Amino acid sequence: MTDDEMTNCHEPARQLERAIAIMHRLRQPGGCPWDAEQTHESIIPNLIEEAYECIDAIRANDRAHMREELGDMLLQVLFHAEMATEATEGAFDICDIARELSDKLVRRHPHVFGNSCADNSDAVLTQWDAIKRREQDIEDKPYLKNCGKGLPALLRAFKITKKVAKVGFDWPDHAGVVEKIREETAEVEATLTLPDNAPQVEEELGDLLFTTVNLCRRRKVDPEVALDAANRKFERRFNLVEKLLKAQGISLEDATAEQMENAWQQAKQTDTTR
One CATH from 2.40.160.40, 1.10.10.10, 1.10.287.1080, 3.40.1210.10 for 3-107: 1.10.287.1080
Q: Return the percentage of the chain with pLDDT > 70, whole number.
A: 96
What does the DSSP 8-state code read for residue 231? Answer: H
Cα four-point dihedral sign 132, 206, 55, 83: negative
**pLDDT tens digits for range 87-104:** 999 999 999 999 999 999
What separation, in Å, do the N-terminal and C-terminal C-alpha atoms of the chain show? 48
Cβ pair 91, 85 in contact under 8 A: yes
148: phi then psi, degrees, rounded to nearest 5: 70, 20
Gap between the Cα atoms of 272 and 198, Å rounded: 40
CA–CA dist 237, 221 (Å, integer): 23
Residue type, 16: L
Distances in whole angstroms, Cα of residue 138 to Cα of each of 49, 61, 165: 32, 39, 19
Band the pLDDT of 245: cuts 50, 70, 90: very high
Phi, psi of 260 (to 5 degrees): -65, -40
Instruction: Confirm if 144 and 164 have CB atoms less than 8 A apart.
Output: yes
Four-residue CA torsion sign, 96, 98, 99, 101: positive
User: What are 94-150's pLDDT values in tens digits?
Assistant: 999 999 999 999 999 999 999 999 989 988 988 988 898 888 876 678 888 888 888
d(CA 15, CA 193): 63
pLDDT in tens, 186-239: 999 999 999 999 999 999 999 999 999 999 999 999 998 899 889 989 999 999
Q: What is the pTM (predicted TM-score) of this model?
A: 0.66
Domain boundaries, the chain: 3-107, 109-141, 225-270
